[in-house]
C-alpha cells in the first residue's frame, strides 16, 4: 500500500529551489508566486519574498540557504529551556510570564515564545503579580509612608 504525501506544506528551501529554477528559465516573480500559490495555497512565501529571491538569483547567487547572521543566536528555545519553563509552569500553572522568567532565569520574551509557540499554550499572563510580590510591594509602600511621616515630624 502506498503512503499518501501531504502536499499542503512546502519547505522554504523547496520554495527557493523552485524560485531559482524558474528565475533561470526567465519567469518573473509574479508568475513564479502564482504557480507555487496555485499548488500549495497560503502556505507559501509572500510575492515580495519571491521577488527578493529572484533578484538575488538573477544577480548570480547560487545558494538557496540563508546567509549567516550577525549577533547572538536564539538559544532560549533549546530543549533545556523548554523543559525548565514547562517544569516551572507545572508547579503553578497560574504563574505570569514575569514570574516564570524570573524563576527560570530567562527573559520574559523567551518565556512567552516558549509558552505560546513551543508548548502551544493559549497564553501566558504578563504583568500579574504574585501574592508574595504584592506583599513586598505593599510593604515597600508602607516603608515609604513611614519614612515620609518621620520626615514630616522634623
Domain map (residue ranges) of the chain: 12-58, 75-125
Lowest mean per-residue pLDDT among 1-5, 70-74, 131-135: 131-135
Please list, in sequence order, all residues whose beta carbon lies within 8 angstroms of the beta carbon of residue 8, skipping any fewer than 6 positions away: 40, 41, 43
Task: Find the farthest-apart pair of alpha carbons in the chain and give their distance in angstroms, rounded.
Answer: 92
Specify whether the CB–CB gap between 130 and 95 falls below 8 A. yes
Please list, in sequence order, all residues whose beta carbon lies within 8 angstroms of the beta carbon of residue 37, skipping any fewer than 6 positions away: 44
What does the pLDDT read at residue 76?
Answer: 54
CATH of 12-58 among 1.10.10, 3.10.590, 3.40.50, 2.60.40? 1.10.10
Render the burial of 109-138: b for 16+ CB within 10 Å, e for the rest: ebbbbbbeeeeeeeebeeeeeeeeeeeeee
Q: Residue 62: left (phi > 0), alpha (psi -120 to 50), or beta?
A: alpha
Rounded mean pLDDT, 14-30: 94
pLDDT at 106 exceeding the cut of 70 = yes
The single residue listed with the C-alpha cell 525548565 is 84
Write out pLDDT tens, residues 43-66.
888 999 999 999 999 999 999 988
What does the pLDDT read at residue 132?
Answer: 46
CA–CA separation, 66 and 64 (whole Å): 7
Residue 17's pLDDT band (cuts 50, 70, 90): very high
Rounded to two decimals, the pTM is 0.45
End-to-end CA distance of the chain: 92
What does the pLDDT read at residue 52?
Answer: 95
pLDDT at 123 exceeding the cut of 60 = yes
Write out pLDDT tens, residues 64-91.
988 887 876 665 577 888 899 889 888 8
What does the pLDDT read at residue 39?
Answer: 84
Amino acid at each position: 500500500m502506498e503512503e499518501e504525501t501531504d502536499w499542503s506544506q512546502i519547505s522554504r528551501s523547496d520554495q527557493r529551489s523552485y524560485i531559482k529554477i524558474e528565475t533561470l528559465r526567465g519567469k518573473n516573480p509574479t508568475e513564479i508566486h502564482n504557480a507555487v500559490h496555485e499548488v500549495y495555497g497560503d502556505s507559501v512565501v509572500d510575492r515580495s519574498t519571491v521577488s527578493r529571491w529572484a533578484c538575488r538569483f538573477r544577480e548570480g547567487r547560487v545558494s538557496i540557504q540563508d546567509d549567516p547572521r550577525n549577533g547572538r543566536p536564539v538559544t532560549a528555545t533549546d530543549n533545556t529551556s523548554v523543559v525548565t519553563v514547562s517544569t516551572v509552569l507545572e508547579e503553578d500553572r497560574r504563574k505570569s510570564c514575569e514570574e516564570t522568567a524570573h524563576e527560570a532565569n530567562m527573559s520574559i520574551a523567551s518565556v512567552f515564545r516558549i509558552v505560546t509557540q513551543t508548548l502551544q499554550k493559549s497564553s501566558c499572563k504578563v504583568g500579574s503579580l504574585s501574592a508574595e510580590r504584592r506583599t513586598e510591594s505593599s510593604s515597600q509602600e508602607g516603608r515609604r509612608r513611614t519614612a515620609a511621616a518621620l520626615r514630616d515630624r522634623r
